[in-house]
């Protein structure tokens, strides 16, 4: 009796030889866990009106695309390659859809108007709690609106141009530094005025916004982001450094 790994290896051999639909379906069934993984992570950052089934459908498209284009002779695991294709297809699909609901847009507009009015009254940027009190809604609703609009902007970006990929890898050493030497992750979690951070990110250029989103929210490495966006890892590193430099000064 053959084990699961051997069975999958045999499916790959059959797929390479025949590329028949039955073998494709069996391989897709085995790799469904990749779709579930990325759907769960991406949907956690999206408005409630974005149906998980819609994201999952995009994931299926990415998985089938990966199966069709994967070259087994290359020194790359299918799991890794498929993850890039699944995530990229989901992000691309969301980017092309206007998925902010009318209610969400109306709330965002009211929050924007309240922010402008309170800024004039207080002579400073109002906090999320002050905006919530003014609109008679919860602070959580205000912060959720910030997040929804921010991710709508991030996902509505244009396709990036292709480039060669390299194997350069960099960690989180280049960070936003404040007086307490907080890391970028800490600042993103602990920033009391969420709107200040959202506005600072919104003022970045399109490439910088997307790299910040994928690196800190989706926890992709620079190499993975480069694979998703068809840019070199060193180019992603450069974009990240530029974004962090701007955010460090904006939040200081």
Query: What's the pLDDT score for residue 36?
Result: 92
Query: What's the pLDDT score for residue 156?
Result: 47
pTM above 0.75, yes or no: no
- DSSP code for 204: S
Q: What's the CATH number of domain 100-156, 3.30.70.270, 1.10.10.10, 1.10.260.40, 1.20.140.160?
A: 1.20.140.160
**Which residue intervals of the chain are DSSP H helices?**
4-18, 21-30, 32-43, 52-69, 78-96, 102-122, 128-135, 139-155, 184-190, 194-202, 206-212, 222-229, 233-251
Query: What's the pLDDT score for residue 2?
Result: 62
Decide whether 4-96 matches 100-156 in CATH topology: no
Distance from C-alpha of 206 to C-alpha of 212, rounded to nearest angstrom: 10
Residues of the chain with pLDDT under 50: 156-193
Instruction: Say yes or no: domain 4-96 is CATH 3.30.70.270.
Output: no
- DSSP code for 137: S
Query: What's the pLDDT score for residue 134?
Result: 92
Query: What's the pLDDT score for residue 217?
Result: 67
Instruction: Say yes or no: domain 159-252 is CATH 1.10.10.10.
Output: yes
Distance from C-alpha of 130 to C-alpha of 44, rounded to nearest angstrom: 26
Distance from C-alpha of 229 to C-alpha of 236, rounded to nearest angstrom: 9
Query: What's the pLDDT score for residue 219?
Result: 64
- DSSP code for 166: -
190 close to 182: Cβ distance less than 8 angstroms: yes
Every domain of the chain and the residues it spans: 4-96, 100-156, 159-252
- DSSP code for 218: S
Q: Is the dihedral of CA 237, 242, 243, 245 positive or negative?
A: positive
93 close to 51: Cβ distance less than 8 angstroms: no
- DSSP code for 127: P
């Amino acid at each position: 009796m053959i084990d699961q790994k051997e069975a999958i290896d045999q499916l790959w051999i059959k797929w390479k030889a025949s590329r028949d639909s039955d073998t494709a379906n069996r391989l897709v069934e085995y790799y469904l866990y990749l779709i579930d993984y990325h759907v769960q992570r991406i949907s956690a950052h999206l408005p409630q009106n974005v149906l998980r089934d819609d994201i999952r459908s995009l994931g299926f498209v990415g998985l089938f695309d990966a199966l069709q284009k994967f070259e087994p002779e290359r020194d790359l695991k299918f799991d890794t390659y498929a993850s890039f294709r699944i995530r990229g297809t989901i992000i691309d699909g969301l980017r092309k859809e206007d998925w902010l609901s009318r209610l969400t847009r109306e709330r965002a507009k009211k929050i924007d108007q309240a922010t402008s009015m309170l800024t004039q009254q207080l002579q400073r940027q109002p906090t999320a709690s002050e905006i919530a009190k003014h609109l008679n809604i919860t602070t959580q609703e205000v912060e959720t609106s910030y997040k929804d609009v921010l991710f709508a902007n991030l996902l509505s970006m244009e396709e990036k141009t292709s480039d060669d990929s390299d194997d350069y890898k960099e960690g989180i050493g280049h960070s936003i530094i404040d007086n307490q030497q907080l890391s970028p992750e800490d600042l993103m979690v602990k920033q009391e005025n969420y709107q200040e951070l959202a506005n600072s990110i919104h003022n970045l250029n399109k490439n910088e916004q997307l790299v910040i989103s994928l690196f800190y929210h989706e926890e992709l490495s620079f190499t993975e982001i480069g694979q998703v966006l068809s840019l070199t890892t060193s180019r992603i590193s450069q974009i990240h450094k530029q974004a962090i430099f701007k955010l460090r000064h904006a939040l200081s």
